[in-house]
Chain A
């Protein structure tokens, strides 16, 4: 192994607030060799982003200070470098890309200019030279028509193309090191696979060294050479990828690997024990027939040219009591709209939805009353789904009261609900802001259970959570489903989670169901190329199972 390019030694970052300083990064030592991809793994709050910001000299608050250790880049200590020196280091020697490309690109500046800006600043190039260089970089990161797309603005691109633009901006000054902070977390799996492939390709061509921050071990397994696992500001384990994945030394690493959903689980949800013959006689709990949902866009009082966008186009579906059905698809495929239409939260344009035999369009009053009493929804963003001014107890108690629980029984029922979702009873007095994402989501589930529902619709309810928490929530759903005979519609873009929880899967694409069947069948033998692309794009934790980015033009180029 050659001498490390970047060497972090015993780095300590403290938070100096009132009282004693709190240690956020605790004596972390990591090396990054030339041409290497280092995967930095850990839950939110483990300090992985902070570590990289410390390296860049971009600590987010004045109260955070580097109180020890050194960061050596080619033998030069960046901790002691002056702010002026750091300006030269950022961009020219270390580039950085972020999770959310939308908020890190200037919305009123042309994509190309944002890249050329760095070239002009760092290399003193003329406007014309910078433009040529920027076009070349855009071509390298996969823009199909860079000369024209140079003049487009960020909003004209899809999320994946914006992330490519971010990478282009970070690469504009030919840095030796690229720090990528959760670069694909906000993207769909297929786009994620493309971006990861781009990173690998750039490493080959430009000899980049990359620090890849992620919470998804699958991504690490597919792309990185070495893994460093962080927890609570400490480095708990590091080593070559295969060694860490195959023989993890630390318990925490073992737990991370254990909770990764892509594990070929032996406990893939089995179809209900009841045979099909028996089930024929049962009435479906939910019946959807040729459902269309259209939204009006554009047009105004003075410009009558109204356009409609079809979010759901001709979906038909039957859900039997006790089913667990997964709905998967990329963003914009109409999954959420379908969920909201089922709950009567979005007006239908045509078609029928019948819940327990009552048609929403024909008997709206009766159907809505029934839906409100017997269905509930769990949302994606757990914090935003709870009223910030109410305590957990008030939130649950209100639902119970509305649904006719006698006042005397409400405190007891609140405790029961908290027990069901494995939260301590003292949580009744807490407000959402003082709770973690996982705890908030448990409250969201408890609130859904408060109505004693027959059907629960979970809309991307684990997408915003850490992997370990995801596993806990999914396990909770599985447990509740078995215990309370719930019917579950589980919407997700993460196929692995759906596979472990649901016996049937629907794949949606552009508002239509393109494939439907038993989970085991679909994952083993997908019939449609789109489904196959979705499945192949999931990064597997086994480094020998290659990641396959879809070659088809799934992602339309900018207009």
Chain B
């Protein structure tokens, strides 16, 4: 019976699979679009993103400048395309390090328990006791403005949510029969932690990665807006919104298009997180 059940024709099962995972298809498609845009930026951007054209300032969207120009006469479309590179990088690096650190510490805290657990979880409590942005800003203020400082601050602050998620899972799983079986078969602690417990505990965090990417993206934009992240004249969506702010009433396109890009990228991550949750069975 099981043999016949696995012999679906490939095309119908693929169709059905995508039908059931519409959000996965759309999310992945949107993210792929942004990635291609980032890679192909030099090819598809019509102008240099930082070159100022004094004779073409504050022009509304037109055929030669589809997204218009800003107050220095820079082409918004080109800046949005080039900005994809930086913003994707922010979302990626800003999530990966907290994810790795948090998962590791959460696993160790949950698995060993006792003093190790107490120490790690009190650190988590301390970090959570401060408002997120205030903590970020003070760390960046100490390290000096710039993207590197932003990444370091993210890594120092962002890991706590992952640590909590993973720890809770590990606490449950370490009492499961297969964990006991692994101990009784003489597997090393490392092996039990990282091969047997972690893969079963990580589904929730993987889903959270996607929603966290949205938050990090918005944080990056906020930090740049405050002048502590990406430095002008580099093209980044958050900083573009900041620069366009004085002209919101007169030249809406300066803030509108980068803002829209942030929304779309965030939307793509949300859809992916949702689909990933379904695939990994987190919502059940």
Interface residues of A (CB under 8 A from B): 18, 340, 343, 345, 369, 371-373, 375-377, 379-381, 384-389, 398-399, 402-403, 434, 444, 447, 450-451
B247 sits at the interface (CB 8 A): no
Complex contact A434–B178 (CB within 8 A): no
Query: Is B180 in contact with chain A by the CB < 8 A criterion?
Result: yes
**Chain A contacts for B182, CB-based, 8 A:** 387
**Across-interface contacts of A343 in B (CB, < 8 A):** 184
Partner of B181, one of A371, A389, A434, A447: A447
A294 to B195, CA, bound (A): 31
The one of B16, B183, B186, B196 in contact with A387, judged by C-beta atoms closer than 8 angstroms, is B196
If A384-B176, A384-B177 touch, whether A376 touches B185 (CB-CB below 8 Å) is: yes
Closest to B5 in A: A434
The smallest beta-carbon distance between B177 and chain A, in angstroms, is: 4
How far apart are A372's CB and chain B's nearest CB, in angstroms? 3
Q: Roughly how many angstroms separate A343 CA and B185 CA in the complex, as a whole number?
A: 10
Contact A402 B200 (CB under 8 A): no
B233 at the interface (CB under 8 A from A): no
Interface residues on B, range: 10 to 19
Contact A434 B200 (CB under 8 A): no
The smallest beta-carbon distance between B121 and chain A, in angstroms, is 14
Most central of A340, A377, A387 by chain B CB within 10 Å: A387
Bound complex: CA A340 to CA B182 (Å): 13
Contact partner, A381, options B16, B177, B196, B200, Cβ 8 Å? B177
Any A CB within 8 A of the CB of B2: yes
CA distance A143 to B181 in the complex (A): 41
Q: Decide yes or no whether B114 CB sits under 8 A from chain A.
A: no
What 0/1 readout, one digit per residue, does chain B (176-220) give for beta carbons within 8 Å of chain A? 111011111111000100011001100000000000000000000
Of B178, B184, B187, B200, which contacts A345 at CB under 8 A? B184
In whole angstroms, what is the CA distance A389 to B179 when docked? Answer: 13
5 tightest CB-CB pairs across the interface, nearest first?
Answer: A372-B186, A385-B177, A379-B177, A384-B177, A387-B178
User: What does DSSP make chain B's interface, helix, strand, loop or mixed?
Assistant: helix
B71 CB to closest chain A CB, in angstroms? 55
**Min CB gap A382→B, angstroms:** 9
The smallest beta-carbon distance between B197 and chain A, in angstroms, is 9
Nearest-Cβ distance from residue A324 to partner chain B, whole angstroms: 20
Q: Can you name the residue of chain B whose Cβ is closest to the Cβ of A434?
A: B2
Q: How far is the CB of A388 from chain B (nearest CB, A)?
A: 7
**B178 and A385 form a contact (CB under 8 A):** yes
Q: Are A377 and B187 in contact (CB under 8 A)?
A: no
* Neighbouring B residues of A388 by C-beta, 8 Å: 200
What residues of chain A lie closer than 8 Å to B183, measured between beta carbons?
Answer: 345
Query: Is A379 touching B180 in the complex (CB atoms < 8 A)?
Result: yes
> Which residue of chain B lies nearest to A435 when distances are taken between CB atoms in the complex?
B2
Residues on B with C-beta less than 8 A from A402 are 185-187, 191
Report the separation of the CA atoms of residues A385 and B173 in the bound assembly, to the nearest whole angstrom: 11
Best-surrounded residue of B16, B181, B195 (most CB of chain A within 10 A): B181
Of all chain B residues, the one with the shortest Cβ separation from A374 is B186
| Residue of chain B at shortest CB distance from A388 | B200
Bound CA–CA A375/B181 (angstroms): 11
> Which residue on B lies nearest to A432, using beta carbons?
B178
Write the nearest CB–CB distance from A51 to chain B, whole angstroms.
Answer: 22
Nearest CB of chain A from residue B19's CB, rounded to whole Å: 11
Are B178 and A372 within 8 A (Cβ)? no
- B27: shortest Cβ distance to chain A, in Å? 24
When C-beta atoms are compared, the residue in chain A nearest to B203 turns out to be A389
Most chain A CB inside 10 Å of its own CB: which residue of B16, B185, B199: B185
What residues on A are CB-neighbors of B184 within 8 Å? 343, 345, 371-372, 375-377
Q: Can you offer 9 A-B residue contacts whose CB atoms are under 8 A?
A: A369-B186, A385-B181, A387-B182, A387-B200, A388-B200, A444-B181, A447-B185, A450-B185, A451-B186
Q: Taking A369-B186, A403-B186 as given, write out 16 further A-B residue pairs in contact, using a Cβ cutoff of 8 Å, ordered by the A residue number.
A: A345-B180, A371-B184, A372-B185, A373-B186, A377-B184, A380-B177, A384-B177, A385-B178, A387-B178, A387-B196, A398-B187, A398-B195, A402-B186, A402-B187, A402-B191, A444-B181
CA distance A384 to B178 in the complex (A): 6
> A386 CA to B199 CA in the complex, in Å?
13
Contact with A along B158-185 (1 / 0, CB 8 A): 0000000000000000001110111111
Kindly state the separation between the CA atoms of A244 and B178 in the bound complex, as whole angstroms.
42
CA distance A307 to B273 in the complex (A): 46
Q: Which residues of the partner chain B approach A450 to less than 8 Å between Cβ atoms?
A: 185
> CA of A386 to CA of B187 in the docked complex: distance in angstroms?
14
- B186 CB contacts on chain A under 8 angstroms: 369, 372-373, 402-403, 451
Question: Once the chains are docked, how many angstroms separate the CA of A387 from the CA of B187?
Answer: 13
A340: chain B residues at CB < 8 Å are 180
User: Taking CB as reference atom, which chain A residue is nearest B180?
Assistant: A345
Nearest CB to that of B3 among chain A residues? A426
- What separation, in Å, do the CA atoms of A259 and B201 have in the docked complex? 40
* Closest chain B residue, CB of each to CB of A459: B177
Bound-state CA distance A170–B177 (Å) is: 35
B193 to chain A, nearest CB (A): 13
The CA-CA distance from A373 to B2 in the complex, in Å, is: 36
Q: How far is the CA of A388 from the CA of B182 in the complex (A)?
A: 13
A384 to B182, CA, bound (A): 12
Q: Would you give the 0/1 interface string for B244-265, flagging 1 where the beta carbon is closer than 8 Å to chain A? A: 0000000000000000000000
Instruction: Output the least CB separation between B15 and chain A (Å).
Output: 12
Q: Which chain B residue lies CB-closest to A389? A: B199
Q: Are A451 and B177 in contact (CB under 8 A)?
A: no
Residue of A nearest to B183 (CB): A345
B176: chain A residues at CB < 8 Å are: 384
A382: nearest chain-B partner, CB-CB: B177
Smallest CB separation, B203 vs chain A (Å): 10
Residue picked from B2, B183, B191, most chain A C-beta under 10 Å:
B183
